[in-house]
Chains A and B, each alone.
Chain A
Amino acid sequence: MNIINIEHIAKIYQVGSEEVHALADVSLKIDKNEYVAIMGPSGSGKSTLMNILGCLDTPTKGLYEFTGENVSQMNDNELASIRNRQIGFVFQTFNLLPRSDALHNVELPLIYAGISGAARREKAEAALENVGLSDRMRHKPNELSGGQRQRVAVARALVTDPAIILADEPTGNLDTKTGADIMSLFNDIHETGNTIILVTHEEYIAEHADRIIRLRDGLVEKDEYVSNRYIPNQKQPI
Chain B
Amino acid sequence: MTAVLETRGLGKRYRRRWALSDCTLDVPAGRVVGLVGPNGAGKTTLLHLATGLLRPTTGTIRVLGEPPPATPAQLEKVGFVAQDTPTYAGLSVADHLRLGAHLNRNWDARLARDRIERLGLDPAQRAGKLSGGQRAQLALTLAVAKKPELLILDEPVASLDPLARREFLQGLMETVADQELGVVLSSHLVADLERVCDYLIVLVASTVQVAGEVDRLLATHHLLTGVRRHPVTLPEGQEVISASHTDKQTTLIVRTDGPIHDPAWTVSAVGLEDLVLAYMSRSAPEHRPALEVQR
Interaction A to B: no
Interface residues, chain A, with chain B CB atoms under 8 Å away = none
